[in-house]
Structure 1
Amino acid sequence: MSIHAGGGLETAAQLKSALAEVEKWEKDQKNLMIWDRLSRLPFKMLDKITPRIVHEKLGVALDELGGYIQNGGKYLVAGRKVGQLLAASNAKRGGPESGPYSLAVMDEAARKLAGERTLFATAQGATTGIGGIFTLAVDIPAVFGLSLKAIQEIGLSYGFDPTLKEERIFTVKVMQFASSDIVGKRAILEEINQQASAGEEAAQAAISRIQGWREVISVYRDNWGWKKLLQAIPVAGIFFGAYTNRGMLKDVTEAAEMLYRKRRILARLAESGE
């Protein structure tokens, strides 16, 4: 991310350069190493080795995700902290405390929020790794909720309001993207790139594509289930818990930064008539 616009907004040429960076990242995501696919265990095998308590917690997460899409629920974040970060970053660059903010200001806020959430998840994974399978059942929904909140905060950094239903749907798609294999990533990128913006009709169409949002939980388990099981190993679980949680949040926040950044760039290019 190499845009530097001082206290002002970017030129069309700068926006196009930033868009090229995001598109290069998207291309890389579509060409992940074969190991990414080989490292995933089939659902049936996971069903056999995953303890019942973990299944129950994933079931709770499924119900809560449905509530989040409908009304935000307990996962909906407030924008005050994000607003303060944006204002401080803009003032540092010589701009006013209120927006509109440059892409550089948005990038800085997003990176800071991503770093904070990743550090928190890492510490949490190490702590819950001490207690084995019992604290693992606490860690899974906690990291799930933390991921949703991190995505929303990054979305707010780029000017997208999670109180809108269509934005909460986009949050879920970002989370699904971060947890998907190479085939899933390609499909989700194509869907996001083709999806029309805003409107209740678009929101309802997106909900139907999420298929009752069950696929999000399935992908989440397919990707992370076997890794989280390593966290149940006594003592070693401290390391595995910290490492796995850190990786999860890094993937989620990176996807959020890139996908929301692209939306903001395209919106600004449209505004400029480019």
Structure 2
Amino acid sequence: MEQSIKEKENLEQLRKKLRNIEKWEKNQKGLFFWEKIGRLPFVLLDKLTPKFIQEKIHILLDEIAKYIDNGGHYLVDNEKTLNKVKKELSLKEDVNLSDIQHFSFDSMEKTAEAFIRNRAKNAQVQGATTGFGGVFTLAVDIPLILGITLKTVQEVAVAYGYDPSKREERIFMIKCMQFTSSDIVGKKAILNELTNSSADEGFAQLQGWREVFATYRDNFGWKKLFQMIPVAGMIFGAYMNKAAIKDVGEVANMLYQKRRVLERIEQCSKVD
């Protein structure tokens, strides 16, 4: 395997990268005022949408529970994802998750960003399609964009050598989604859980996954407001879905990168 792919950073380089990630964390200002106000459309949706659409949303909530437990149909195929890593980095040999754990950060970031770009394009097309029908297809758009979101975060996990088939990783991914939609207080709490708790303690703090999803869904409020308009919703749906995937992709990229950086710093410290 190419030296540039497996090149290891020294301790100072790792600490510099950690400082950059922590700077990014401090710049997360939470939801903007109009994003909070924008949650109102979904309050109206709950009252105005037909019963069969609301029932589909409740079914979706049950599917998320299955995702946390066993991945369900949202679970990505690790082998196919690893082949995408191989193609993106122009590698001649097959790779596994253990190999990726030793990749340089430049290689891992390049792969993660490629995954995010591809999924964002998919979301853009899907948003335009479902936006055509206005409020009724908007209800269909929610589970579809959620599926793309989950697969995006899983691919980012693989890009950093983590296994989406493990339940603790799926919970970490839900936390990434929650972080995307939380205010500044919520973001700080999530970062504290993910950084300072042991794996079991941190994951045990995921309480009320339905609330996590509801928060994530409600964050679509103002972003989806104009998608309720038939035909014109195509334009807004395409833009907003692409932006949503890019946002959650950025969060997953930074949080998974931070985990890998901290692990390598610990390894270097033990050697020293």
The one-letter code sitting in structure 2 at the alignment partner of 1:237 is G
Counterpart position of 1:177: 179
Note the 1:1-274 alignment, pairs <5 A: 6-7=4-5, 8-30=7-29, 33-41=32-40, 44=43, 47-49=46-48, 52-88=51-87, 98=95, 99=99, 100-197=102-199, 202=200, 206-207=203-204, 209-273=205-269
Asked if 1 retains the 8 angstrom alpha-carbon contact of 2:134 and 2:233, the reply is: yes
Write the distance in 1 (CA, Å) between the matches of 2:129 and 2:173.
Answer: 27
Q: 3-state DSSP class of the match of 1:131?
A: coil
- Mean alpha-carbon deviation: is it higher for 178-187 or for 108-117? 178-187
Deviation at 1:57, TM superposition (A): 3.1
Cα distance, 1:195–1:42 mapped onto 2, change above 3 Å:
farther
Asked if 1 retains the 8 angstrom alpha-carbon contact of 2:29 and 2:183, the reply is: no
Cα distance, 1:91–1:217 mapped onto 2, change above 3 Å:
closer
Cα distance, 1:161–1:256 mapped onto 2, change above 3 Å:
same
Cα distance, 1:67–1:31 mapped onto 2, change above 3 Å:
closer
The one-letter code sitting in structure 1 at the alignment partner of 2:4 is G
Cα distance, 1:150–1:241 mapped onto 2, change above 3 Å:
same
Asked if 2 retains the 8 angstrom alpha-carbon contact of 1:9 and 1:102, the reply is: yes
The one-letter code sitting in structure 1 at the alignment partner of 2:121 is L
Cα distance, 1:149–1:106 mapped onto 2, change above 3 Å:
same
Deviation at 1:178, TM superposition (A): 1.3
Asked if 1 retains the 8 angstrom alpha-carbon contact of 2:39 and 2:218, the reply is: yes
Moved over 6 A (4+): none
Write the distance in 2 (CA, Å) between the matches of 1:166 and 1:72.
Answer: 11
Q: 3-state DSSP class of the match of 1:29?
A: coil
Asked if 2 retains the 8 angstrom alpha-carbon contact of 1:53 and 1:137, the reply is: no
Asked if 1 retains the 8 angstrom alpha-carbon contact of 2:88 and 2:111, the reply is: yes
Cα distance, 1:222–1:34 mapped onto 2, change above 3 Å:
same
Cα distance, 1:119–1:127 mapped onto 2, change above 3 Å:
same
Deviation at 1:250, TM superposition (A): 1.0
User: 1:204-257: CA deviations, max 9, x gaps?
Assistant: x624x3323111121022211343242120221111111111121111101100
Deviation at 1:55, TM superposition (A): 3.0
- Mean alpha-carbon deviation: is it higher for 250-259 or for 55-64? 55-64
Write the distance in 1 (CA, Å) between the matches of 2:34 and 2:137.
Answer: 29
Asked if 2 retains the 8 angstrom alpha-carbon contact of 1:86 and 1:101, the reply is: no
The one-letter code sitting in structure 1 at the alignment partner of 2:178 is Q
Listed as ranges, the gaps of 5+ residues in structure 2 are none
Cα distance, 1:52–1:223 mapped onto 2, change above 3 Å:
farther
Write the distance in 1 (CA, Å) between the matches of 2:165 and 2:50.
Answer: 35
Deviation at 1:163, TM superposition (A): 1.1
Asked if 1 retains the 8 angstrom alpha-carbon contact of 2:69 and 2:167, the reply is: yes
Q: 3-state DSSP class of the match of 1:210?
A: coil
Write the distance in 1 (CA, Å) between the matches of 2:41 and 2:125.
Answer: 29
Cα distance, 1:181–1:48 mapped onto 2, change above 3 Å:
farther
The one-letter code sitting in structure 2 at the alignment partner of 1:136 is L
Write the distance in 2 (CA, Å) between the matches of 1:9 and 1:89.
Answer: 20
Instruction: Count matched residues.
Output: 262
Aligned Cα root-mean-square deviation (Å): 2.5
Listed as ranges, the gaps of 5+ residues in structure 1 are none
Deviation at 1:86, TM superposition (A): 3.4
Asked if 1 retains the 8 angstrom alpha-carbon contact of 2:124 and 2:237, the reply is: yes
